[in-house]
Amino acid sequence: MNVLTGRRILVGVSGGIAAYKTPELVRELRRAGAEVQVVMTRSAAQFVTATSLQAVSGNPVRDTLWDPAAEAQMGHIELARWADLILIAPATADRLARLAHGFADDLLGAICLASTAPIALAPAMNHVMWQAPATRRNLELLAADGVHLIGPEVGDQACGETGPGRMSEPADLARAVTELLAQGLEGTARAPVHSIGQNQPLLGHHVVITAGPTREAIDPVRFISNHSSGKQGYALAAAALAAGARVTLISGPVAESVPVGVTLVAVESARDMHAAALTAAPGSDLFIAVAAVADYRPSTVAEQKIKKTDRKESGLSLELVENPDIVAAVAALPDAPVVVGFAAETHDALAHARGKLSRKGLDAIVVNDVSRQDIGFGTDENAATLIWADGEITLPKQSKADLSRAILDTLIELFMPRFVRQLANTNPDNAAK
């Protein structure tokens, strides 16, 4: 028997162009055996008719709190109690904002507030709206309330642009609802469960990434640095953003463009990066140190340009002092996030990386061979081994974007329970549950 057989799904339709797909969604749910009631908002009626939704659901469609006849048959409180699960598809940016703040000034809002059933949202909106800071904030509130997210997908949009914000297809939504009900969450109080959407497993989580080189000043015109281009760190930031995370990217000087939606903290020296990391990391879920940090800096910085005539017979000597170890300092924080380092090695790579994993107190480390010309520093491709306490995975040569997705997928698989716990810890309401 299908998980959906006999399950009562309340489908909420808000006012976006994707509402034209809702009749097909209702058909999918009913084909799988679910009972469906539809509640639509006033603006949804601009995109789909109540008549078609009534025909496919087999039930009258409700669209207002102020219909005495309908309320007499099944009032909004009864509808709220009736549902095993509420699925809002499409969920517009406005609907997310209303839900996040508990508005109950229309039927759909009142039902969501009055129900203890799990709520799943299928967002659909323009990609800039999806990535807007206000939408991100609302999504974090909703994720902390245990609301589930299905999608959205990346692709062509009704506005003619391309990006994340397309509503998932009806068949995928029906599959995700089945998965959700199969987890046995119906009828339970909402827990701080992460998104079940395929694309947004990091929704509600904060990822901090360091990237690029640092520059250690010798005098006003010279510095010590390395060949890091920032490509690997920026690709990881884009991958974390696409996975739904709020991303802070602490970057040394590079020529890469910052992905829209990522918060950049631009730094120069290792000490700047250390200070920025210790500001951003507390309360975050995942810290990934991709930066090639200079281990040493000149003990003094000459105030004026050093002249050739300043050197002694034997040449010019620079005295170097050690820089703070940024990733080790983050790993030593009380309530540290999951901390992942990178190891740039030229020989005995795995052994050296394992040493760094334990010396720096890391949860995992990504080791890459920087003696090769085709991967590592400055290249568009990379290959790596991801190592953690009791396992490792070899990730073959691929674009830095693909490698970043593969690294994140593995980290999510290994550490998601810790991310969820951290989300609960930072939300006193959830911690009490």
Interface residue with ligand PMT, options 22, 131, 232, 284 (CB under 6 A): 232
Per CB under 6 A, the list member of 289, 331, 403, 414 interacting with ligand PMT is 289
Q: How far is the CB of 131 from ligand PMT (least distance, A)?
A: 24
By the 8 A CB rule, do 327 and 287 touch? Answer: yes
| Residue entry with tokens 């602490």 | 250
- To the nearest whole angstrom, how small is the minimum distance from the Cβ of residue 379 to ligand PMT? 7
| Bridge-based pairing state of the strands 216-219 and 222-224 | antiparallel
288 phi/psi in degrees, rounded to 5: -120, 120
Residue 147 to residue 219: CA distance in whole angstroms: 54
Q: How far is the CB of 331 from ligand PMT (least distance, A)?
A: 9
In the three-class reduction of DSSP (H, G, I as helix; E, B as strand; rest coil), residue 298 is classed as strand
Least distance from ligand PMT to the Cβ atom of residue 289, Å: 3
228 binds ligand PMT (CB under 6 A): yes
CA dist., res. 174 & res. 154, Å (int): 19
CB of 325 to ligand PMT, least distance (A): 4
What whole-number distance in Å separates Cα of residue 38 and Cα of residue 269? 57
Letters for 367-406 (x = contact with ligand PMT by CB under 6 A, - = none) are -x-x-----xxx----------------------------
DSSP state of 433: -
Angle between helices 231-242 and 400-426 (to 10 degrees): 50
Minimum gap (Å) between residue 388 Cβ and ligand PMT: 14
Give bridge partners of residue 224 from the DSSP assignment: 216
Is residue 269 a contact residue for ligand PMT (CB under 6 A)? no
Inter-residue contact 123 to 45 (CB < 8 Å): no
Residue 329 CB, nearest approach to ligand PMT (Å): 8
Piece in contact with ligand PMT (CB under 6 A), picked from 4-12, 176-184, 188-196, 340-348: 340-348
Asked if residue 295 binds ligand PMT (CB under 6 A), the reply is yes
Does residue 230 bind ligand PMT (CB under 6 A)? yes
Is 363 a binding residue for ligand PMT by CB under 6 A? The answer is no
b/e code 378-407 from CB counts within 10 Å (16+ = b): ebeebbbbbbbeeeebebeebebbbbbbbb
Alpha carbon distance 104, 106 (integer Å): 6
Rounded to whole angstroms, the Cα distance separating 359 from 152 reads 41
Q: Which stretch binds ligand PMT (CB under 6 A): 190-198, 201-209, 224-232, 260-268?
A: 224-232
Q: Which is nearer to ligand PMT, 16 or 376 (CB)?
A: 376
Nearer to ligand PMT by C-beta: 16 or 230? Answer: 230
Could you give the residue numbers annotated as active site? 159
Tell me the number of residues near ligand PMT by CB under 6 A: 28
User: If binding is defined by CB under 6 A, does position 92 make contact with ligand PMT?
Assistant: no
The yes or no reply on residue 251 touching ligand PMT (CB under 6 A) is no
Of residues 125 and 267, the one with the C-beta less far from ligand PMT: 267
Candidate segments 157-165, 223-231, 261-269, 401-409, binder of ligand PMT by CB under 6 A: 223-231
Angle between helices 107-114 and 93-100 (to 10 degrees): 40
Integer CA distances (angstroms), 370 to 344, 363, 375, 388, in order: 6, 22, 7, 20
Shorter beta-carbon distance to ligand PMT: residue 241 or 290? 290
The answer to whether the beta carbons of residues 213 and 291 sit under 8 Å apart is yes
Query: Is the preceding peptide bond at 201 cis, omega within 30 degrees of 0?
Result: no
Task: By CB under 6 A, name the one of 4, 99, 270, 407 that touches ligand PMT.
Answer: 270
Given a contact cutoff of 8 angstroms between Cβ atoms, the answer to whether 290 and 208 are in contact is no
The torsion angles phi and psi of 385, rounded to 5 degrees, stand at -120, 130
**Contacts (CB under 6 A) with ligand PMT, residues 315-334:** 323, 325-327
Q: Site residues (CB under 6 A) for ligand PMT?
A: 210, 228-233, 270, 289-293, 295, 323, 325-327, 341-344, 356, 368, 370, 376-378
